[in-house]
Chain A
């Protein structure tokens, strides 16, 4: 009997605590918009989040940046997100197929560039140069969007490249270049622009073969409610477009 009571107490206590906590936060505290966004959006969205908070007193924006596929999995598994911005339509489809989000809209495009150390010591001018066996090249793994794009772009150039590593995401790929462990890496233009320096980008015409569309959608049953719509609208507004363009994204005309 005592055991049963104790178990009940254990089970009920956290529920009571939670019950006390959350509504109060809703009443007097700030409302929070939780945005799940592709890692490549880290810089722009952090900037837009600050602007949004300044324009909407009482509303806070919280970000969860990561691999689009991982984020989509988390949302499908019930993670409490309000807005989802993915780095490609396929990962967004995971979420819309589960009827968890409203209609997505493409708000940005990104294309690949060859990242090389500053001054381009190896004199790389195009994708075919990467086939040189003396060069160490880092690519994204084909399972992640930047890797799928790299495969398509290299195929379009007819370049047979043997990379030394297939990294798990685009930031890790660029890091290997920044640390000087590889001589070239295929990453997004935005990543080259966002890198601290010591890296420059070489444009490749074949990049047009695999342009990444970035869709954004507000999730159904978004816990934040209306402010979630407002954040998505800010991203798609001219102001959001300006910030995206500054970061190296192409912004589709509405």
Chain B
């Protein structure tokens, strides 16, 4: 890579002046992304911020959001890491199709995901009816339902991230372990997993952030009830109906959490050249 750049000569070398057809749209793009967030900061009711943050509705929504996003990330780790391993290391027909299927929730509007979940896991859904009649479990309108909706939308982020790390990992360590007689499971836990740990944690953080911001699938599948299924994004949306200032406060909390997440990822994302 570096060799090609050198051969291309002075014009394309790093350190030369950036060409304006790139700089102008880049600056416009940056402004487009940053200005709305700045607007949020400007409009925020700063003097009454403390009092508003202490409102039970806000605290309840925040607590629920943190709990469900963490639980959803746990679900994603439990199911997503093995799935990523299967996609990266497995040899089976239709692997490409499986990978495509895994990424579907990534491009699907979350509301559609919520409707799909409702049709399958709802009280009248194909799997939900069995759950309800056999165990008396009904997932919609429960906190567990929120976790499911969030995991559905966030899991592809984790799978893709971990699969990428697995593909980039040096296979020779695993091969060496295999020649020393380690079983595939032992190789996975002792060699592969430590090797891709940074990828797994980055994927988990991304997955957590996506779960935290989840709106469409949650409100469709789990409904909206304070303390049980009303997460921060749902509270923002409903606050906007009557109390835009409250919506701004809630949005700022979400923004602050997102920035914190990004900061924790600084080395892996913002830091990559």
Contact = CB atoms under 8 A, between A and B. Distances in A.
B224 A6 contact: no
Contacts of A168: 219, 224, 234, 237-238, 241
Contact of A67 (B124, B140, B241): B241
B35 interface: no
Given A2-B20, A164-B223, A143 B239 contact: yes
A3 interface: yes
Nearest to A164: B141
Interface residues of A, number: 25
Central interface residue in A10, A67, A166, by most chain B CB within 10 Å? A166
Contacts of B68: none
Interface stretch (A33-41, A103-111, A124-132, A175-183): A175-183
B123 interface: yes
A187 B240 CA distance: 21
B240 to A, nearest CB: 7
Nearest to A69: B241
A163 interface: yes
Interface of A is mostly: mixed
B229 interface: yes
Nearest to B243: A143
Contacts of A163: 225
B224 A73 contact: no
A176 B123 CA distance: 11
Interface in B217-246: 219-220, 222-226, 229-230, 234, 237-244
B118 interface: yes
A172 B234 CA distance: 14
Contacts of B238: 141, 143-144, 166, 168
A164 B225 contact: yes
A55 interface: no
Given A6-B20, A179-B118, A167 B224 contact: yes
Contact of B241 (A6, A7, A144): A144
A165 B228 CA distance: 9
21 contacts: A2-B20, A3-B20, A67-B241, A69-B241, A69-B242, A141-B224, A141-B241, A143-B239, A164-B140, A165-B141, A165-B225, A166-B225, A166-B238, A168-B219, A168-B241, A179-B122, A180-B122, A180-B123, A181-B118, A181-B123, A181-B141
Interface of A: 2-3, 6-7, 10, 67, 69-70, 73, 136, 138, 141, 143-144, 163-168, 172, 176, 179-181
Listed from nearest, the 4 A-B pairs whose CB atoms lie closest are: A165-B223, A180-B124, A164-B141, A143-B241
